[in-house]
């Protein structure tokens, strides 16, 4: 295979390498099958972005891309890069506009047969309770500036104190729902203003809340540790830091553009604007990004609590009968200080950029909750609203090859514009109903943009990472009810 002037080397059936060439500092690696690679070759932009990222000062090992790779701002979505903490750079393009967009899975004690007859009412109540769409707001009372400082600094800890969930939830959130190095003072007044009314809201685009049925178990032992069983009703939440995170990214892209010139950082794409991690600009961005990440975890915590209350109202059950509890919450748009093996048997402190990629730590890692430490970190991979999503776990191979990272979703095949064009004249609501999925959305345009054909089949993406040994399939979730913006 050839891409421009690069001879792409096939490492195995699910891994391809773009050799280091020209001013690249490291090779690029793409996890994909042959068919996906041919599609990427025809698109050009995502592979070019993999090559561009390989120019980041301080990059370690490889510029990586997962099989859900598609074009993004600076980095491809599905991109992973680790830079040396002492001599490398931080790039907002490696996190993205939706800081700490991520996925949360909550489970119930209910079998789907008991819930399906009330699915329409459940979806209506969820849609009424959880604001969706562009500019969605006022799920709870508007937060004042003091409250916002608490959320940005303390994350889910503060939200739980306000009555949203319980302390046990903290154990099952990546980083326990709080990055200690958050600096609310580095978040602009405009970003704070945008966040004041948006805690507990889904937003638009591919963000959603689903009522899912577990329709397949691949590993009974691990599923049992996770508390999952066939036929179980679970809730899957996919959203991020809303307008606050978007504003933080937008603010710091301007800062980083100037910083790249100040520190003489030469990059092939201005969208990769970066600053040294230990520069004032780099540290300020990391502090603001961490604050936005804390807001996103808090947002998902509030949404989960609102969803639980909606289920209790419609189903008329006691809390003990519902047994609604958090399984795990994981981010897929973030940059963090971590230790990883870079050279043989040498661990190094690096800044891992995961943009459209999920942390996937191996069994035994101390960052995993005690309950799950023997099996590996839960990994949540959402698909499209018409097919399925997956629960996986991280592996030792992920820590060895991908800085403890795996895929994050299905990955777009069609732009939103193309999806709308193809959907013209179709009734996507009706099509979803024929698939057995009850959907409520803010508008037909959103539903057209998010129709299943707009995405790769997430099973193909998950199977590549499973076959590569990077993450392991545990359960498949089938959507029954969906709310979208």
Q: Are strands 438-441 and 471-484 parallel, antiparallel or unpaired?
A: parallel
The answer to the question of whether 353 is labelled as a binding residue is no
The answer to the question of whether 84 is labelled as a binding residue is no
340 is catalytic: no
The answer to the question of whether 238 is labelled as a binding residue is yes
The answer to the question of whether 206 is labelled as a binding residue is yes
The answer to the question of whether 389 is labelled as a binding residue is yes
The answer to the question of whether 70 is labelled as a binding residue is no
Residue 244: name the closest of 123, 145, 380 by CA. 145
The DSSP call for residue 455 is B
Catalytic residue (one of 408, 417, 424, 466): 408
Helix (H) or strand (E) holding 30: strand 28-31
| Cβ-based neighbour number of residue 404 at 10 Å | 27
The answer to the question of whether 333 is labelled as a binding residue is yes
Q: Answer for the pair 8, 42: CB distance below 8 angstroms, yes or no.
A: no
The answer to the question of whether 209 is labelled as a binding residue is yes
The answer to the question of whether 484 is labelled as a binding residue is yes
The answer to the question of whether 411 is labelled as a binding residue is yes
Dist. CA 243–CA 292, nearest whole Å: 10
The answer to the question of whether 111 is labelled as a binding residue is no
The DSSP call for residue 170 is G
The answer to the question of whether 408 is labelled as a binding residue is yes
The residues facing 472 across adjacent strands are 393
Q: Answer for the pair 335, 90: CB distance below 8 angstroms, yes or no.
A: yes
Residue 386: name the closest of 250, 283, 262, 477 by CA. 477
Whole-angstrom CA distances from 206 to 27, 133, 485 are: 31, 10, 8
Alpha carbon 143 to chain centroid, angstroms: 25
The answer to the question of whether 24 is labelled as a binding residue is no
Q: Answer for the pair 389, 383: CB distance below 8 angstroms, yes or no.
A: yes
The answer to the question of whether 332 is labelled as a binding residue is yes
| Cβ-based neighbour number of residue 10 at 10 Å | 12
Dist. CA 28–CA 64, nearest whole Å: 6
The answer to the question of whether 207 is labelled as a binding residue is yes
Binding annotation:
98, 206-210, 238, 332-333, 382-385, 389, 408-411, 484
Instruction: Report, as residue numbers or ranges, the catalytic residues.
Output: 408
Binding annotation for GMP:
206-210, 332-333, 382-385, 389, 408-411, 484
Binding annotation for Mn(2+):
98, 207, 238, 332
């Amino acid at each position: 295979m050839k891409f421009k002037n690069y001879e792409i080397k096939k490492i195995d059936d699910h891994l391809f390498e773009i050799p280091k060439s020209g001013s690249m500092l490291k090779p690029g690696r793409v996890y994909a099958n042959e068919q996906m690679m041919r599609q990427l070759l025809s698109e050009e932009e995502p592979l070019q972005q993999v090559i561009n990222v390989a120019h980041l000062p301080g990059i370690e090992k490889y510029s990586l891309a997962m099989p859900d790779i598609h074009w993004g701002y600076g980095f491809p979505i599905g991109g992973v890069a680790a830079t040396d903490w002492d001599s490398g750079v931080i790039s907002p393009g490696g996190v993205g506009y939706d800081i700490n967009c991520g996925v949360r899975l909550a489970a119930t004690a209910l079998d789907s047969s008991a819930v399906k007859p009330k699915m329409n009412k459940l979806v209506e109540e969820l849609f009424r309770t959880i604001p969706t769409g562009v500019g969605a707001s006022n799920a709870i009372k508007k937060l004042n500036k003091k409250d916002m400082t608490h959320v940005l600094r303390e994350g889910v800890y503060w939200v739980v104190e306000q009555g949203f969930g319980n302390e046990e939830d903290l154990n099952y959130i990546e980083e326990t729902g709080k990055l200690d190095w958050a600096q609310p003072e580095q978040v602009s007044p405009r970003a704070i203003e945008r966040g004041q009314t948006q805690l507990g809201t889904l937003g638009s685009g591919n963000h959603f809340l689903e009522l899912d049925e577990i329709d397949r178990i691949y590993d009974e032992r691990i599923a049992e540790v996770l508390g999952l069983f066939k036929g179980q009703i679970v809730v899957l939440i996919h959203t991020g830091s809303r307008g606050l995170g978007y504003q933080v990214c937008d603010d710091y892209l301007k800062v980083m553009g100037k910083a790249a010139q100040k520190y003489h950082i030469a990059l092939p794409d201005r969208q990769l604007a970066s600053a040294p991690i230990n520069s004032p600009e780099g540290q300020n961005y990391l502090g603001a990004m961490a604050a936005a990440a804390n807001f996103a975890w808090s947002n998902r915590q509030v949404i989960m609590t609102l969803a639980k209350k909606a289920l209790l109202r419609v189903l008329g059950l006691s809390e003990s009968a519902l047994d609604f509890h958090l399984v795990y919450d994981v981010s897929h748009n973030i940059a963090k200080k971590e230790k990883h093996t870079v050279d043989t048997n040498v661990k190094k402190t690096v800044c891992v950029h995961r943009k459209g990629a999920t942390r996937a730590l191996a069994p035994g890692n101390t960052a995993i909750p005690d309950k799950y430490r023997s099996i590996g970190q839960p990994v949540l991979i959402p698909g499209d609203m018409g097919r399925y999503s997956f629960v996986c776990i991280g592996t030792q191979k992920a820590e060895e090859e991908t800085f403890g990272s795996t895929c994050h979703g299905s990955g777009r095949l069609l732009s939103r514009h193309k999806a709308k064009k193809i959907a013209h004249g179709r009734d996507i609501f009706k099509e979803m109903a024929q698939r057995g999925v009850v959907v409520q959305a803010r508008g037909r345009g959103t539903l057209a943009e998010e129709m299943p054909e707009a995405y790769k089949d997430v099973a193909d993406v998950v199977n590549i990472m499973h076959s590569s040994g990077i993450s392991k399939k545990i359960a498949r979730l089938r959507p029954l009810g969906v709310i979208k913006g």
